[in-house]
Structure 1
Amino acid sequence: MNGTGRTSSTVMSLRGRALWAVAVLGVGCWQLSLGWASAVAGAVFVGVVVLVFGLVLGARVVRVPGGFVVLGVLTAALVGAYYAAPASGPLQAVVDSVPRLLTAPRPAPVTAAFLVPGVLLVAVVALVSALSLRARALVVPAVGGAVLYVAGALLTAGRADPRGLGALGLLAVTGIGWVLVDRGRRRGSVVPQSVLVVGLAGVALAAVLLPAGRPFEPRDLVTPPVNDLPASSPLPALSSWAAAGDTELFRVRGGEIPMRLVALADYTGATWQATTVYSPVGTVAAPDLPAGARHVETRVDVTIGDLTGPWLPAPGRPTATSAEDAVVDASSGSVVLPSGARQGFEYTVESSVDAPDDADLIAASVPGGGAARRYLGLPDLPFALAEYARRTVADARTPFEKAVAIEEVVRADRRPNAEAPVGSSYARLSTFLFGAPGTAGAGEGTAEQFASAYAVLARAVGLPTRVVVGFRPVPPGPDGVAVVRAADATAWPEVYFSGWGWVPFDPVSGTDDGPASASRREVINRLATATPTPSTPAVSGPAMPSKAQVPDAAPTTVVATRKPWYLVIIAVPVLVLVVLGGLRAGRRSRLRRAGATGAWAYVLDSLLLAGRTPPRASPAPEIANGLATPEARRLAVLADRAAFAPNPAPAEVGRAAWPLALRVRATLRRRVPWYRRLFWAIDPRPLWRR
């Protein structure tokens, strides 16, 4: 009766310590969750604590070794991190999770990718705290709560608990638990806990009363994680989109604004290339050229139709999106969905769009090196194009006048033609700009040639440019939704002006498509009277192949295939189980060869697995009487004779002992619950039983 009472008291004490530990970690989780934008984060963290404690305590009830619980929790955490955040492998997902969170907007969005580091930290703290309860180490949950509190303070730069109320609450829950849950402990063990409580209370009081300077900012120590995703330029797809005409690509709600698909900055002399390095949307990584002083914020809702490929349409520089897996190039604002856009996919995107007035640009300058070098690159520029650009801006006085002059010259006497040969190479642009009449592509092209010709000529005279593939603004319907069709796809160049950001130009329609600003019209009129039309250079590029010789290119759907790291993660526990099973099989083989003594040792192994380990000093017959099976008694006698008889037992005695051991083992195995039998063959405890 007394033993039962002690067992019940032990269980109740363990249960009380577990509830107290969950409460302490819950306070820490609440403090940590303030680093995210929603209370959902706190609910997730508390759920992780409850789940881990449930697994540890449940495994203790069913007598599952603690090592299996640790292995299972850590494996689940790695696999979860791998599938929640884009990465090349599980370990890389964990390594990237902290920089991704620290470089996110503050507070961080509540998405799977941004919750990964918080969940991992809470899971590890909860696992260590739960495993420590059996040893009555009540300091461990308190330290775990403090770790979560400090993590929340670092994540928010101290803004999570400006008055110290969270710290005082953590101390209160910790102190109450030490007094009530552990009141049966001897007095000497309470002294260091009391000292710790007083010390932590002093620290919390100092944090509340003392003035604070600039808080420590962990963001200064990290750089945003990046993903390397190969993606081809969608410029060649403009002709196929033009041919598709009325095909609905996507729908957008949020205003009549141009939607960007991808901004292309790298030019090889043959083609424009899309960047392959992307970071999570919302990271604080600065673009290589800063945003302009005047900008507007937009928010649009997009529903994908027949648009294929990895890019997601977005206005300006995206700052946040509901597409959890989306990544962005911080410099260009191009948004990529690694799995590829699919029909019916819906998302919301918030963006910032540079919006300077033309009057702001009249006296604006442009950067000439450093970060702008990427936007000035023209490898092996042909003399004909360089000379054509020089003549075009001969009478322009400012960078803005140069940009306007090139816009007017590129569109002069040239016409859009969806059937024109595709391409952006020097040869194709030379034919487009000053090819002989009758040559395929001479004086006509798609938006690809207009935008590319402008960008190349502008770079030749020192203007940083890039080419943007996107869609014209479409007026919304009565329901406020604009339907963007394939015919709305286009491309346009942008020029960067210091202090004002990227400014779009339209060499296809120029000032004919809507009213121009007074500043731009004034520039156009002055240049038209002062500068003659630039003559065609004597040196022209080689003839371009006909359209039949140039294959149409369709946008390539980029699917970020995950490397089979998940197989490694799955294989680790399987390998552990196989190794344990092999070791157990080897031990069984050795015991079988040892005769009657080995057979009795096999029975002792079975008793250990059944939770009935006898005292080490008990003789074999006494243990066999407690089993109440005739096979056990017969085996005990044989084992005693084999161990203590002066003459070695005959070989047939050893052969007869092993079947008895197997029958005793089967009897013991039938008496244990089914969940204990699952680990019977791989439980490692018999391996170190002596």
Structure 2
Amino acid sequence: MLRAVPVPFALVVLTALAGVVLGRVYAGDLLTRLMLGAALGSVLVSVAARRLPSWLVAPVSVAAMAGWTAFSLHLAARHADLTGDFGPIVADAARNGIPRLLTAMIPVEPAPDTVLVPLVAAWLAGLTGAEVALRAGRTLLGFLPPALLYAGALYVVGPNADPATWPSVAFAGAVALGLASSGPRGAPEAADPTAGLAPSVRAAVRARLVAGTALGLAVVVGLAALLGPLLAARVDERPVDPRRYVEPPRVESLDENPLIRISGWALNPEQKLLDVRTQAPAGAESRIRLAVLSDYDGVTWRVGATYRNAGRILPAAQPGAGPVETVRQEITVADLTGRLLPAVATPREVTGARVAYDPASGTLIRPEGLSPGLRYTVTSARERPDVNLLATADVPAGEEVARVLRVADGTPEPLRRLATQLAEDNGAPYARAAAIEQFLAEHYRVVADAPSGHAYPNLNFFLFGPRGGGGQRGTSEQFAAAFAVLGRLTGLPTRVVVGFSSRGDGPVRAADAFAWPEVLFSGVGWVPFDPLPRPDAEPRPVEEDFRPTPDDPPPSEVPEPTLEPTATPPAVAAPDRPADGAGVPTPVLVGGAVAGLLLLVGAALATLAGMRRAQSRARRERGDPGERIAGAWREVTDALRLAGRPVGGDLAATEVALRARQALADARATTAGGPTAGAGANARPAGPGGLGEPTGPAPRGANVGLGAGVPDGGGSAPYGPALTAPPRAATVDGPDVDELATLLNQVAFAPGTATPAQADRAAAIAEEYVAALRAARPWWRRLLWSVHPGPLRWRP
């Protein structure tokens, strides 16, 4: 009886070790304990049911798995403080388990949607291994499912934890124990397969055993000699992180650039946005941060965040040199819309709402969107910069801060001259920042009815436009954006923050919304500045302290405002990733392990196909019309790349359309058995990624290239190039890709003018073209087309 214990014990240990490895990226040890329970339950059910018919074991084990999974999800829901009915929570976990596991921020919160997949995988691995090892008597083959589970856990963890040294040693030890205890036992005849045979037959059998053993040993030694150096060379390499293949939650354009909402809020000052209750040190004013905008392309400021699903505890940022205060706020949403979740900087714990988080900026979102009555609690670590260090503090430089030092092309010459003038007599970084702050506060006026807009032409008019014509006046949007641009022109790393001022407890209204700039100082951290003038101050004319050269004509027209919508459109939930799960295997014989492996491969391929379909649907159906047209264009360029005909980023949209028609014609000719037309002698080579990035702005009237960004109208320039239809070339019967190229040019040069009908037309063209190009491929390439992982990781 005792000799039958080691194999089940080894199976439990092997399955539980996968939970130990995976639990290293989870907060706390709840997942490890739940996976240990799944390992014990699956193996014990198989041991107890050994005398039952083989066909009855799987249903009994699956019923036990359902009970343990329901109990575990209940514990995880309580641990994560999730409220609501248990049924919808379980349904949501089953629907979104895989994508949320791969987009969750480290450490992962043990919640129903992040523990369901590991639990089910652990139970199925224990069931498969126990049936093959105990019922079929194939111990080594029975250890294969736990080994695959262990390898999968290592892959999911990736580079996000230290090497799993001791779990791997324990895994090897458990395998050795199980194999050593599973040898032949009972009568001597069972131990000696040649007993009772004739001497000549016995000699032949023994010779075959010796030859087989020698051959197996030679194969093992050969594999060790061949694979050993290759594996040793990869010891110091960084593992692949599977999270890079899954697209994080996306936000709407107003959440990507909330700076354009300032003017709308200024016109409705009494609108109630939030209710706040604060626990903070007495006398300290709290700024509630909505979003941090670090990217500026000369047209609009953007958050540019990569949001990861997070639990209650958020990862800590790099500490500054000043003291840290703990601020606790209970916030109730009123009329605030979108997905951005307001919080005092820098949030450390959030309860009452599921959030996604960008550690680089400290910006929070609620993927489901805000709704009136939503109540959540935020505990933040607010830093107080040491002002005594600012006078001598330097600013960082290099690749780590290149993002907040970048100056977009096309900067107006007056802005450059003003920045040079302000920096001439102020060598120290803090002195330059203070000079910019003082200049803006002394020369400009804050008004509530100023039009929105912070593109280069808008800022140029704000700084140097005639007072009588609407210049030299604006909201905090123009003050903060002008400070940030002037700061970058003088070598200061800057960013713009949008948020609200709060006096402690009570309502936060639209009049409390404002934007402010921040500057990064070495050893101090991000320091906010206030370039807004005092309410009772009379601005001094700009001409007294800065006079443009006579070569610069004064602005003659007011820049076009950025239109603020009357109501924020409802947030659209990010596309859910399909969670394809393997069916319940019943491997009662030796072939069970092989069937399980095939099932895992099939599940992986189905998951890839589902992720590809969700990606295509999100590109064509999510976002505003401009984003949908750009997504349809990405579908066409990805299809060309899948067909082996990538296009470079130096090509205009019309040139790409010509290449697309030629690629379809060539594919159809090849399928029909005719001659294959080449791309042409004048074809330009594709870049290494197939999608390039332009080195400068597109000329007036030109077609936008593939690498050009598609602005969403966050800040409109006063003038735009004339839109012209692309020239028609000889084409084949098929989708009108030229029309899609025309729509892409419209989005690039006239942002905000695309209509939903045009977006629907672009999606239809892209879908028709991709289907036609795929249909012209050989049958085996059509099978690989839908599961190719390239489009999930290719970047524009």
Q: Give 2:477's aligned residue.
A: 448
Structure 1 residue 251 corresponds to structure 2 residue 272: no
Residues 223 and 285 in structure 1, CA contact (< 8 A), matched pair in contact too: no
> Alpha-carbon deviation of 1:381?
0.6
Q: Give 2:128's aligned residue.
A: 128
For the aligned residue pairs, the C-alpha RMSD in angstroms reads 5.5
CA–CA distance in structure 2, aligned partners of residues 330 and 489 of structure 1? 23
Alpha-carbon deviations, 1:264-285, whole Å to 9, x = none? 1121222212315323448999
Q: Which runs of 5+ in 1 are unaligned?
A: 1-8, 192-215, 477-481, 514-527, 574-690
Q: Give 2:434's aligned residue.
A: 404
Q: Give 1:388's aligned residue.
A: 418
Q: Give 1:338's aligned residue.
A: 367
Structure 1 residue 357 corresponds to structure 2 residue 386: yes
CA–CA distance in structure 1, aligned partners of residues 322 and 386 of structure 2? 9
CA–CA distance in structure 2, aligned partners of residues 405 and 188 of structure 1? 96
CA–CA distance in structure 1, aligned partners of residues 58 and 445 of structure 2? 75
CA–CA distance in structure 1, aligned partners of residues 446 and 429 of structure 2? 27
Write the letter of the residue equivalent to 1:451. Answer: A
Q: Give 2:308's aligned residue.
A: 279
Alpha-carbon deviations, 1:499-555, whole Å to 9, x = none? 332211111257999xxxxxxxxxxxxxx9xx99622435444532587x9444655
Matches within 5 A, 1:20-35: 24=13, 28=17, 31=20, 35=24
Q: Secondary structure at the match of 1:419?
A: coil
Cα 1:167–1:564 change in 2 (3 A) is closer
> Alpha-carbon deviation of 1:434?
2.9
CA–CA distance in structure 2, aligned partners of residues 492 and 431 of structure 1? 20
Residues 317 and 332 in structure 1, CA contact (< 8 A), matched pair in contact too: no
Q: Secondary structure at the match of 1:251?
A: strand
Cα 1:551–1:92 change in 2 (3 A) is closer
Residues 7 and 139 in structure 2, CA contact (< 8 A), matched pair in contact too: no
Residues 298 and 315 in structure 1, CA contact (< 8 A), matched pair in contact too: no
Residues 45 and 122 in structure 1, CA contact (< 8 A), matched pair in contact too: yes
Q: Secondary structure at the match of 1:38?
A: coil
> Alpha-carbon deviation of 1:248?
3.9
Q: Secondary structure at the match of 2:497?
A: strand
Cα 1:53–1:61 change in 2 (3 A) is farther
> Alpha-carbon deviation of 1:569?
6.7
Cα 1:32–1:512 change in 2 (3 A) is farther
Residues 263 and 564 in structure 2, CA contact (< 8 A), matched pair in contact too: no
Structure 1 residue 430 corresponds to structure 2 residue 460: yes
Greater C-alpha Rg:
1
CA–CA distance in structure 2, aligned partners of residues 140 and 124 of structure 1? 15
Write the letter of the residue equivalent to 1:125. Answer: A
Normalising to structure 2: TM-score of the pair? 0.50
CA–CA distance in structure 2, aligned partners of residues 53 and 572 of structure 1? 15
CA–CA distance in structure 1, aligned partners of residues 482 and 385 of structure 2? 24
Alpha-carbon deviations, 1:156-191, whole Å to 9, x = none? 7489989x9x969x979x89x979xx9996689999
Q: Give 1:534's aligned residue.
A: 545
CA–CA distance in structure 1, aligned partners of residues 270 and 258 of structure 2? 17
1:560 equivalent among 573, 576, 583 = 573
> Alpha-carbon deviation of 1:412?
1.4
CA–CA distance in structure 1, aligned partners of residues 90 and 305 of structure 2? 23
CA–CA distance in structure 2, aligned partners of residues 450 and 159 of structure 1? 52
CA–CA distance in structure 2, aligned partners of residues 217 and 118 of structure 1? 28
Q: How many residues are aligned here? A: 493
Structure 1 residue 543 corresponds to structure 2 residue 557: yes
> Alpha-carbon deviation of 1:449?
1.2
Residues 429 and 449 in structure 1, CA contact (< 8 A), matched pair in contact too: yes
Cα 1:356–1:414 change in 2 (3 A) is same
CA–CA distance in structure 1, aligned partners of residues 39 and 353 of structure 2? 25
> Alpha-carbon deviation of 1:344?
3.3
Residues 307 and 356 in structure 2, CA contact (< 8 A), matched pair in contact too: yes
Residues 21 and 141 in structure 1, CA contact (< 8 A), matched pair in contact too: no
Residues 42 and 124 in structure 2, CA contact (< 8 A), matched pair in contact too: no
Alpha-carbon deviations, 1:54-89, whole Å to 9, x = none? 99788976936969999x999x99x999954998xx
> Alpha-carbon deviation of 1:423?
1.3
Q: Secondary structure at the match of 1:404?
A: helix
Structure 1 residue 504 corresponds to structure 2 residue 528: yes
> Alpha-carbon deviation of 1:399?
0.9
Q: Secondary structure at the match of 2:369?
A: coil
> Alpha-carbon deviation of 1:355?
3.5
Q: Secondary structure at the match of 2:495?
A: strand
Percent identity, aligned pairs only, is: 29
Cα 1:111–1:451 change in 2 (3 A) is same
> Alpha-carbon deviation of 1:263?
0.9
Q: Secondary structure at the match of 2:548?
A: coil
CA–CA distance in structure 1, aligned partners of residues 310 and 33 of structure 2? 24
Structure 1 residue 45 corresponds to structure 2 residue 74: no
Q: Give 1:489's aligned residue.
A: 513
Q: Give 2:106's aligned residue.
A: 104
Cα 1:449–1:319 change in 2 (3 A) is same
Normalising to structure 1: TM-score of the pair? 0.57
CA–CA distance in structure 1, aligned partners of residues 250 and 16 of structure 2? 40
> Alpha-carbon deviation of 1:301?
4.3
Residues 520 and 526 in structure 2, CA contact (< 8 A), matched pair in contact too: yes
CA–CA distance in structure 2, aligned partners of residues 497 and 130 of structure 1? 60
Q: Secondary structure at the match of 1:311?
A: coil
> Alpha-carbon deviation of 1:466?
0.9
